[in-house]
């Protein structure tokens, strides 16, 4: 998040919403950061003296300071470009929709299911979590069974 914001602000001053939109645009919608991720990062950059924030028309305009530009110049080679993997114009699979669908189904069971249904849902969710971690570990689903 931090590097993406610094790189975008190096081009021009932006409002928080513009930063979020620019990140989404540069990743073909694959990365849509939330205000809860962007605004604390902006405040941190301001605290570090790398950016300034001032009110403009009811919005917070963020500008990279000379120190921020110097930081990018000095550390630019060390920072990985968070937009590079999206440069070919293809976005990877987006898990937000299936995750939201799962959340809706689990909430429905939590609100209207009987005890047995809620317990069964908890077991399914625990198995799903374990399966996801196995994917990250590069192991097959049946490796631990």
pLDDT (0 to 100) of residue 32: 85
Please tell me the class of the 2-86 domain: mainly alpha
pLDDT tens track, the chain, 145 positions: 899 999 999 999 999 999 999 998 888 887 888 899 999 999 999 999 999 999 988 888 999 999 999 999 998 788 878 877 776 655 566 777 888 899 999 999 999 999 999 999 999 999 999 998 898 888 866 544 4
Per domain, the residue ranges of the chain are 2-86, 96-144
Give the 3-state secondary structure of the chain.
CHHHHHHHHHHCCEEHHHHHHHHHHHCCCCCCCCHHHHHHHHHHHHHCCCEEEEEECCEEEEEECHHHHHHHHHHCCCCCCCCHHHCCCCCCCCCHHHHHHHHHHHHHHHHHCCHHHHHHHHHHHHHHHHHHHHHHHCCCHHHHC
């Amino acid at each position: 998040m931090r590097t993406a914001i610094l790189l975008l602000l190096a081009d021009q001053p932006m409002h928080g919403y513009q930063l979020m939109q620019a990140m989404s645009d540069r990743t073909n919608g694959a990365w849509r950061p939330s205000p809860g991720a962007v605004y604390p990062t902006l405040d941190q950059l301001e605290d570090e003296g790398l950016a300034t924030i001032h009110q403009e028309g009811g919005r917070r305009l963020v500008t990279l300071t000379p120190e921020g530009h110097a930081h990018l110049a000095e550390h630019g080679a060390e920072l990985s470009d968070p937009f590079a993997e999206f440069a070919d114009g293809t976005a990877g699979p987006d898990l937000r929709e299936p995750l939201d669908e799962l959340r809706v189904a689990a909430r429905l069971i939590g609100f209207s299911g009987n005890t047995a249904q809620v317990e069964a849902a908890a077991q399914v969710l625990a198995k799903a979590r374990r399966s996801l971690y196995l994917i990250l570990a590069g192991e097959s689903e049946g490796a631990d069974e």
